[in-house]
Chain A
Amino acid sequence: DTGVSQDPRHKITKRGQNVTFRCDPISEHNRLYWYRQTLGQGPEFLTYFQNEAQLEKSRLLSDRFSAERPKGSFSTLEIQRTEQGDSAMYLCASSEQGLENTEAFFGQGTRLTVV
């Protein structure tokens, strides 16, 4: 098992452009999370999937953000009409269902810079 992988690792985009990130969770994990981390802060929860169902969305997730997990495996996070305030590290994590005391395994993140 190679762990959680995210692609790309870095993305620089112009303001107003759309960007899409991909996350491949650990294969047997059916829970998948997206977090956003800005400089000097801890990760903040964005959204959560159980299999293909998006069960929770944070108020941080504006209408410009959309996430999918179409087959319950990999997930994508799209940001439309990017703004400079979207510059952050976007982290994906996965965990097993039903084990509340188990940790979430994180990918290495996608660092987004909006210029």
Chain B
Amino acid sequence: AQKITQTQPGMFVQEKEAVTLDCTYDTSDPSYGLFWYKQPSSGEMIFLIYQGSYDQQNATEGRYSLNFQKARKSANLVISASQLGDSAMYFCAMRGRNQAGTALIFGKGTTLSVSS
């Protein structure tokens, strides 16, 4: 079965610092996609970044980058130059080709708190 594990319930960082949010995954499917979403207190899930299992390079989107280590089955999110508006829940998710259709499977999330 596919599974996403996020072991950090909460992370604290100061403005302008970089932070890494951990994510490990488990799947037997050779083809899969990994996603990170941000959920502010308003509740909406906001897509941040995507990494495909066959992508040779780590994905980057502005201040977000994904540290993809396929052999270790990890897909950590790195946020550079943290901002107060980055305070939110962050979810790692996986989509496989043959499990639950094309639905995303989410981890339990990490709460990020950015202070000034």
Contact = CB atoms under 8 A, between A and B. Distances in A.
Nearest to B34: A101
A107 B44 contact: yes
Contact of B101 (A41, A44, A48, A89): A48
B103 interface: yes
Interface magnitude class on chain B: 20 to 34
B35 A111 contact: no
B19 interface: no
B61 to A, nearest CB: 11
Contacts of A13: none
A93 B33 contact: no
B68 interface: no
Contacts of A58: 100
B78 interface: no
